[in-house]
Chain A
Amino acid sequence: NIVLTQSPATLSVTPGESVSLSCRASQSISTSIHWYQQKSNESPRLLIKYASQSISGIPSRFSGSGSGTDFTLSINRVESEDFSIYYCQQSYSSLYTFGAGTKLELK
């Protein structure tokens, strides 16, 4: 199994700050990583595909980068609606896995 390690577990920020969330894979997975946002009591929503490709309808303040084993989700100037949990997911293996998530909370 490919293990995804997300850090930090919790990130406390104030609106307007810019943040970076990390996802590290246990082996090289090229760019086969996808990011999801899950707000409280909602289903996850796809934010970024294949490490850095944008998704229609997602605000441009969300961006992704990385390849191999280290990936980053960046949020430029966090807004109040961004406080939620973020998960990465790999599809390099047909046996998908998710990271444990990073909770973005209001400081």
Chain B
Amino acid sequence: QVTLKESGPGILQPSQTLSLTCTFSGFSLSTYGMGVGWIRQPSGKGLEWLANIWWDDDKYYNPSLKNRLTISKDTSNNQAFLKITNVDTADTATYYCARIDRRNDYFDYWGQGVMVTVSS
């Protein structure tokens, strides 16, 4: 059974760095073809893909945010991470992590999402 769960700070101030953790079970990021992606959704708005990390440590970033994003993983603890530097109010959103498989390239399992608010 595949599950994913996001965790984050809840609230942070402008210019700070947002650190998010995705803790998952039912698959391993050391298995060939496996990946985890991060997607966010401001309240009442659409989905925005942020970044993917793959089993071989290959990484891809949304070009519009690339300079601010860092994705990483800890295969031993079944976790993936996303850092966003220099946040502002536009980064207020629900952040999701989701599983991807290189053979399929779609998000087949999603976490419940974690809400992050950027406010002074």
Contact = CB atoms under 8 A, between A and B. Distances in A.
Partners in one complex: yes
A44 interface: yes
Interface string A10-49: 0000000000000000000000101010100001111001
Contact of A87 (B46, B96, B111): B46
Interface string A65-107: 0000000000000000000000101010011111111000000
B120 interface: no
B105 interface: yes
B63 A49 contact: no
B52 interface: yes
A60 interface: no
A64 B110 CA distance: 21
Contacts, number: 53
Interface residues of B, number: 22
Interface of B: 37, 39, 46-49, 52, 60-64, 96, 104-108, 110-113
Given A46-B108, A98-B48, 18 more contacts: A32-B105, A36-B107, A43-B111, A44-B107, A45-B110, A46-B106, A87-B46, A91-B106, A95-B61, A95-B62, A95-B63, A96-B52, A96-B60, A97-B49, A98-B39, A98-B46, A100-B46, A101-B46
Interface of A: 1, 32, 34, 36, 38, 43-46, 49-50, 87, 89, 91, 94-101
